[in-house]
Amino acid sequence: MKAIETLDLTKQYATHKAVNQLNFSIREGELFALLGLNGAGKTTLINMLTTILAPTSGEATIHHLSIQKKPQQIKSLIGVSPQESAVAPHLTVEENILLMATIYGASKLEAKKQCKHTLLQLNLQNEKTKKAKHLSGGMMRRLSISMALVTKPNVLFLDEPTVGVDVVARRELWNVIKELKGSMTIVLTTHHMEEADALADRIGIMSNGFLIKTGTPADLKKQKHTDSLEDAFVSFVQTEEVPS
């Protein structure tokens, strides 16, 4: 089943088309990494798919529900870990997770159960009584992901999950994401090619608002006769024709 599908999805800001007639789909359970240079349109696309931003034209569905017609139902299907974290700094790790569960309508008992589960999933048990403002960058990102997971989403959006995180914490986050893989659909944006290579089932490359290429990491490297996803990516964004 398709978890996400877009049909000519477009967002125009004044005269600039940030997302230009995108047609693609993501299978249920797939981890899809969205790559693109600064300003390619990734955040605009994610914001439309998560119902934060209305498209100018075209359509997208999450589990066959229209982002424009069924935003509330979609909100109950998705979890979002944004670049700008929604973490409350003065609350503890546990309080942040419980708050999120409660906002999404869980009873006190359910919220506690789910909180315990996500603390385990993200290996945050030892940090649960710490105030969020005292967490390291890596732990802060784990908290943000656990807050996105506490509502048991079918589709998880991770916008640059390892930005500003040290190499060890990044590897640990990769392990967390690998553990989640398959149990839900994951859409991840990143500027780290090795991250996309390590995690993605399939990659989509955006350039100037167009989705210029989709394929498995192996396919993309093979098409450019290289072992390096970074080399393949650079070649695609420099040489690919935009779709007509």
Determine, following the binding rule CB under 6 A, whether residue 36 of this chain makes contact with ligand ATP: yes
Q: Which of 13, 89, 108, 216 binds ligand ATP (CB under 6 A)?
A: 13
Considering Cα of 167, then 173, then 178, then 182, what sign does the dihedral take? Answer: negative
Nearer to ligand ATP, 118 or 189 (CB): 189
**Any alpha helices (H) in 10-107, and if so which ranges?**
42-49, 71-75, 93-103
Count the site residues for ligand ATP by CB under 6 A. Answer: 11
* Contacts (CB under 6 A) with ligand ATP, residues 195-224: none
What phi, psi does 171 have (nearest 5°)? -60, -40
Which window, 10-18, 116-124, 147-155, 171-179, contacts ligand ATP (CB under 6 A)? 10-18
Task: Compute the least distance from the CB of residue 20 to ligand ATP, in Å.
Answer: 10
* Contacts (CB under 6 A) with ligand ATP, residues 39-78: 39-44
Determine, following the binding rule CB under 6 A, whether residue 81 of this chain makes contact with ligand ATP: no
Using only the alpha carbons of the chain, give its radius of gyration.
18
Residue whose structure tokens are 């993605």: 200
Which window, 13-21, 96-104, 164-172, 222-230, contacts ligand ATP (CB under 6 A)? 13-21
Nearer to ligand ATP, 18 or 177 (CB): 18
Q: Which of 15, 38, 129, 244 binds ligand ATP (CB under 6 A)?
A: 38
Which amino acid appears at position 38 of this protein?
N
Nearer to ligand ATP, 36 or 55 (CB): 36
CA-wise closest residue to 158 among 179, 134, 186, 184: 186
Asked if residues 227 and 221 have their Cβ atoms less than 8 Å apart, the reply is: yes
Return the C-alpha torsion angle 113, 119, 122, 127, nearest 10.
Answer: 170
Asked if residues 158 and 147 have their Cβ atoms less than 8 Å apart, the reply is: no
- Contacts with ligand ATP, residue ranges (CB under 6 A): 13, 16, 18, 36, 38-44
